[in-house]
Structure 1
């Protein structure tokens, strides 16, 4: 019997073409799933006959309640080398090896700037008006040069976002709980004295923090109230860092100029989710990691992980 491998959330139906799965020969049967499983019951029913699962990012949780219902599962591969929704202890207890893949920081950096530029120049609104026979020029762009970009987080992604901001001639400030002046100087940005100072002084605020106990709900109603009415908020990191209800209220009440959002509390977004119809919102369906090169890396290294596991020498083991 072949080693059966499921690929989850292959929405674009590209997993099979993004790597050379043929190198695994007839040892592995690949089965991509193009639809998302919304409940644990649906997920476990679909995966009951698989030895291996490849999951993208942190959209599909694998808690003990799921892993315990998949007795055949032997190998779980996550894209990226960190995954907060896999119960590693339960995986070990069930004899499941968890492996990861490398992930490039370039795609989320580029998407961050796509959102910033799209918001600043009203790209979607102007495009729609032009195509639909609407007004010729209906927005006045927000300048980047000379304005302040505030970064919450100056790690691998945040530092690259900072350098692009500097190239645009922006004043770039950054803050996180453990950010040092030395690190800020290395990137060429100013260290904000506090989160509050960054929020009140910035024209664009972009979130680049890992989700954890200290960052969950970091931007609530009180923090969003500190933003200028002309400021824009961009989040390509994790939805739970920004209080979703508070953000929706700020957008509906016009207390900020707009937001660019790529991450959500529920993914994929249900049809009636308020984020689908919020005003002043430029929204993308979690495209931060979705690029041709990144997919080739994810799935190419997933093939390597499977081969190594079958050969008895697992690679990139997590947890």
Structure 2
């Protein structure tokens, strides 16, 4: 295969400049030339200029928006590969109309639950504040909260929510859950008590969000739901930013209607430099790193390579419906 006939492959969203070293991309040398792009998402015109020369684009889940406006201006693009088997940032009907194949990958299932529990421990024990005090020459600055005997509320008892339930049970917490599709029987299978939405927010000392973002879940944690929470309660979100009404949460935090929030997801991302979440003393904020682990990236990128090879061989795998 000549240089001219090689596939032009872009690995997009490599914000930490790590993709090149996680797996061996040279296995694609025979069929394509790989480039790693580290820029954050931009306006449509900038994205077109950035991507118009590529046949294949590999993306991280829901970092860059691939809507019809962008896809329709990338006539060379024939394969879009995403980390994970779900990506709300890709307009799948538009891709299908334009003849763009979309494939996905598996993911490392423990990364997000472990990050969620780290945030729970971090916010309830004020680990960042205490660590910063020590770094600045100080010592203890307050009292940490306890988890044993408290109530853990889980909004969405799916695969990640079930892991969080197990962690809570191991810490001696009472675990309750609600979602629109959850039943008492399914909750009981995980040793969890099914409650109403209002009871979930009213009773939880720690409330952790684990819903898939959809039209139905968007903004489901609204001002009313936040008003039901205890003033001593903490809200944790490692799911998706738009599930929570951001303005309502900022208002609740500013007026100390809840004790605090630990957040790993936002709308938009990256979080603007002047955003209140960057500066509020009752917010523990991390830059969407719930899935940013070595095992998860190795899974994503190794299977992206497999997807490209299979598609090039005429037998695509892990195809999005």
Same fold, judged at TM 0.5 (above): yes
The 2-side partners of 1:105 and 1:253 are apart by: 36
CA-atom RMSD, angstroms? 1.0
The 2-side partners of 1:279 and 1:265 are apart by: 20
Whether 2:183 is the aligned partner of 1:183: answer no
TM-score (norm 1): 0.97
TM-superposed deviation, 1:275? 2.0
28-37 vs 61-70, greater mean Cα deviation: 28-37
TM-score (norm 2): 0.97
Find the counterpart in structure 2 of residue 58 from structure 1.
62
- Mapped contact 2:61–2:89 kept (Cα < 8 A): no
1:84 pairs with one of 85, 88, 91 = 88
Find the counterpart in structure 2 of residue 235 from structure 1.
237
Find the counterpart in structure 2 of residue 291 from structure 1.
293
2:71 pairs with one of 47, 63, 67 = 67
The 2-side partners of 1:266 and 1:275 are apart by: 12
The 2-side partners of 1:266 and 1:279 are apart by: 21
The 1-side partners of 2:123 and 2:251 are apart by: 18
1:182-261 alignment runs, 5 A limit: 182-192=185-195, 194-261=196-263
29-38 vs 154-163, greater mean Cα deviation: 29-38
The 1-side partners of 2:37 and 2:27 are apart by: 21
Helix, strand or coil at the partner of 2:21 = coil
- Mapped contact 1:77–1:100 kept (Cα < 8 A): yes
The 2-side partners of 1:210 and 1:35 are apart by: 27
Where does structure 1 differ by over 2 angstroms across 4 or more consecutive aligned residues? none
1:93-112 alignment runs, 5 A limit: 93-112=97-116
What is the total number of aligned residue pairs between the two structures? 317
- Mapped contact 2:41–2:63 kept (Cα < 8 A): no
Find the counterpart in structure 2 of residue 37 from structure 1.
41
- Mapped contact 1:19–1:303 kept (Cα < 8 A): no
- Mapped contact 2:240–2:266 kept (Cα < 8 A): yes
TM-superposed deviation, 1:152? 0.2
The 2-side partners of 1:146 and 1:294 are apart by: 33
The 1-side partners of 2:274 and 2:42 are apart by: 15
- Mapped contact 1:100–1:316 kept (Cα < 8 A): yes
1:132-211 alignment runs, 5 A limit: 132-134=136-138, 136-192=139-195, 194-211=196-213
- For structure 2, the residue ranges without an aligned partner over 5 or more in a row are none
The 1-side partners of 2:306 and 2:284 are apart by: 37
Q: Residue deviations 1:40-83, cap 9 Å, x none?
A: 11111100100011110112111110000000001000111011
Whether 2:126 is the aligned partner of 1:122: answer yes
The 1-side partners of 2:246 and 2:181 are apart by: 25
